[in-house]
């Protein structure tokens, strides 16, 4: 996923707080922009938006019309962080700053356009890229994580028996159920692919198993639009972070391995005709993983 | 005193810069949360006679009867102080 830096335009327009609102409006109109960071002696002191301008007399100083509380973000931050900041503060723009200066402004429209590429249109869940990004952030933040991989049993048969429209309804409804069960503070959910969903969580392996059981039970009790009994198979894997730095420069490598293990565990659960299979905890060391050994 | 409307052509910061240039340290600009006014400029010497907490609600109540938010209104405040003192011998 791109970082905030990639959305910055080359040209930055700023205005001092001693300028008039009339001048700010003229600059914004001339350059077709919706706001200007207010900078005095190199220091960000506010932001003036088209909304501020509509509310203020044009003779006013920018200092008397600007919004003084400015939400800023680092250029290295992910678009995901930017998206969350926008939601958290219910704002339309973020000012991008580094230690020394104001670098630019990014808008909600820009961020949404980019983030939208990572939202699954059928279920409105995140796509796998966001899941990976979140998992990497957690690992880099020193958290121990568990991955729950959920697979709808015999989904292909449902599609064949009742048609893809019903299949889509089932996927949407399953996604809704998953959304109500997870806790966004500790779980990140995605539609991994097709009829597969994945959750990365900071819960312990035991708690992750409890969550998977809850999901499986709720789905089993759900009334579906066609006469089926829907079941899920879950595979769970977890990773300890010791030795992580020695393993690789790329934590994405570790996540892919954990996902693969959870996915194989889910397949194993199906094969064993049990709802959940735990691929146990993996010590993240330099030795390549041996899936066969883990799942044996 | 000056009562600065919320949509007046001059705002609190402009007024602050103006009074600081003309009469440094003699005025206090108080930003207020009010339907009509955004700030009140008070001569500091007035506040020796009556506390801000007493004066501001009175001024805003009276001012909002005649002003709107696009106005900057100058208010003249006359304060009468009656002193009664008993001296015993």
Report residue A152 as tokens: 């709808």
Give me the number of domains chain A comprises: 2
Q: What is the pLDDT of residues B46-82, one digit of tens each?
A: 999 999 999 999 999 999 999 999 999 999 988 888 9
Query: Tell me: the pLDDT tens digits for A25-43?
Result: 999 999 999 999 999 998 9
Q: Domain end: A65, A81, A116, which one?
A: A116
Confidence of residue A253 (pLDDT cuts 50, 70, 90): confident
- Chain A residues with CB under 8 Å of a chain B CB are 17, 55-57, 59-61, 63-65
Q: What is the pLDDT of residue A280?
A: 61
- Mean pLDDT for A90-105 is 91
pLDDT for A288 beyond 50: no
Chain B: residue whose CA lies nearest to A59: B9
Strand pairing class (A196-201; A102-107): unpaired
| Interchain contact B18–A (C-beta under 8 A) | no
Summarised one tens digit per residue, pLDDT across range A133-163 is 888 888 888 888 999 999 999 898 888 888 8
- Together in a domain, A82 and A172: no
Is the domain of A159 the same as that of A286? yes
Sequential DSSP letters for A65-112: TSBS---EE-TTSBHHHHHHHHHHHT-SEEEEE-SS-EEEEEEHHHHH
All structural domains of chain B with their residue ranges: 2-74
**Which structure tokens are listed for A158?**
């449902």
Whether A57 sits inside 8 A of B9 (CB atoms) is yes
Is residue A138 domain-shared with residue A208, that is, in the same domain? Answer: yes
Which CATH number belongs to the domain containing residue A15 in this structure?
A: 3.10.580.10
Q: Please say if the pLDDT value at position A102 is more than 90.
A: yes
Band of pLDDT at residue A281, cut at 50, 70 and 90 = low
**Structure token digits, residue A77:** 């931050």
- Per cent of chain A over pLDDT 90 is 48
The pairing of beta strand A72-73 with beta strand A93-97: parallel
Q: Is A32 helix (H, G, I), strand (E, B) or coil?
A: coil
Among the partner residues A56, A61, A63, nearest to B7 by beta-carbon distance: A56
Distance CA A260, CA A266 (A): 10
| Collapsed DSSP state (helix, strand, coil) of residue A207 | helix
| Boundary of a domain, candidates A116, A137, A154 | A116
pTM for the whole structure: 0.64
Question: Is there a contact between B11 and A17 if contact means CB atoms under 8 Å apart?
Answer: no
**What gap in Å lies between CA A7 and CA A78, rounded to an integer?**
11
B71 touches chain A (CB under 8 A): no
Last residue of a domain, which of A65, A95, A116?
Answer: A116
Nearest partner of A76 among A102, A101, A104, A97, judged by Cα: A97
Cβ distance of B7 and A55 shorter than 8 Å: yes
* For residues A279-293, average pLDDT: 47
CB A47 within 8 A of CB A38: yes
A36 and A99 in a single domain? The answer is yes
Average pLDDT, chain A: 86
Closest CA in chain B for residue A17: B13
- Cα A80 to chain centroid, rounded: 6
Specify the pLDDT at position A248.
53
Q: For an interface test with B, give the residue of A55, A60, A68 to mutate (most B CBs within 10 A).
A: A60
Cβ neighbours of B12 in A, within 8 Å? 64
What tokens were used for A170?
A: 């089932």
User: Tell me, what's the pLDDT at B69?
Assistant: 92
Q: Look up the domain containing A189 and give its range.
A: 120-295
Sheet strands (E) in chain A: 35-40, 43-49, 72-73, 93-97, 102-107, 145-152, 187-193, 196-201, 232-240, 276-283
- CA atoms within 13 A of residue A17's CA, in its CB half-sphere: 20
Residue A100: which pLDDT band, with cuts at 50, 70 and 90? confident
pLDDT tens string A40-78: 998 999 999 999 999 999 999 999 999 999 999 999 998
Res A246 pLDDT > 50 = no
């Amino acid at each position: 996923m791109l970082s905030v830096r990639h959305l910055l335009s080359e040209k930055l327009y700023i205005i001092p707080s001693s300028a008039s609102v009339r001048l700010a409006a003229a600059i914004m109109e001339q350059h077709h922009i919706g706001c200007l960071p207010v900078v005095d002696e190199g220091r960000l002191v506010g932001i003036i938006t088209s909304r501020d301008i509509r509310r203020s007399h044009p003779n006013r100083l920018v200092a008397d019309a600007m919004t003084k509380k400015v939400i800023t973000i680092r250029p290295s931050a992910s678009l995901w962080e930017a998206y969350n900041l926008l939601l958290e503060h219910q704002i339309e723009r973020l000012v991008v700053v580094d230690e020394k200066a104001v670098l630019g402004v990014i808008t909600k429209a820009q961020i949404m356009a980019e983030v939208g590429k990572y939202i699954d249109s059928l279920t409105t869940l995140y796509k796998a890229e966001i899941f990976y990004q979140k998992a990497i952030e957690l690992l880099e933040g020193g958290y121990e994580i568990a991955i729950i991989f959920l697979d709808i049993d015999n989904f292909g048969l449902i599609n064949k028996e009742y048609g893809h429209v019903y299949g889509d309804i089932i996927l949407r409804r399953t996604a809704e159920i998953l959304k109500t069960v997870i806790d966004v503070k500790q779980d990140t959910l995605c539609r991994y692919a097709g009829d597969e969903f994945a959750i990365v969580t900071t819960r312990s392996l035991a708690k992750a198993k409890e969550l998977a059981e809850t999901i499986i039970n709720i789905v089993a009790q759900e009334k579906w639009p066609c006469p089926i009994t829907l079941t899920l198979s879950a595979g769970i894997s977890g990773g300890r972070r010791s030795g992580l730095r020695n393993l690789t420069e790329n934590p994405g490598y570790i996540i892919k391995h954990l996902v693969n293990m959870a996915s194989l565990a889910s397949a194993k659960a199906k094969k064993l005709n049990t709802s959940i299979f735990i691929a146990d905890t993996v010590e993240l060391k330099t030795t390549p993983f041996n899936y066969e050994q883990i799942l044996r | 005193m000056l009562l600065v409307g919320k949509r007046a052509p001059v705002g609190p910061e402009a007024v602050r810069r103006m009074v600081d240039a003309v009469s440094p340290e003699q005025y206090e600009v108080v930003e207020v949360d009010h339907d009509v006014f955004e700030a009140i400029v008070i001569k500091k010497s007035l506040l020796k006679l009556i506390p801000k907490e007493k004066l501001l609600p009175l001024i805003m109540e009276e001012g909002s009867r005649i002003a709107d938010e696009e106005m900057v209104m100058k208010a003249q405040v006359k304060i009468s102080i009656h002193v009664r003192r008993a001296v015993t011998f």
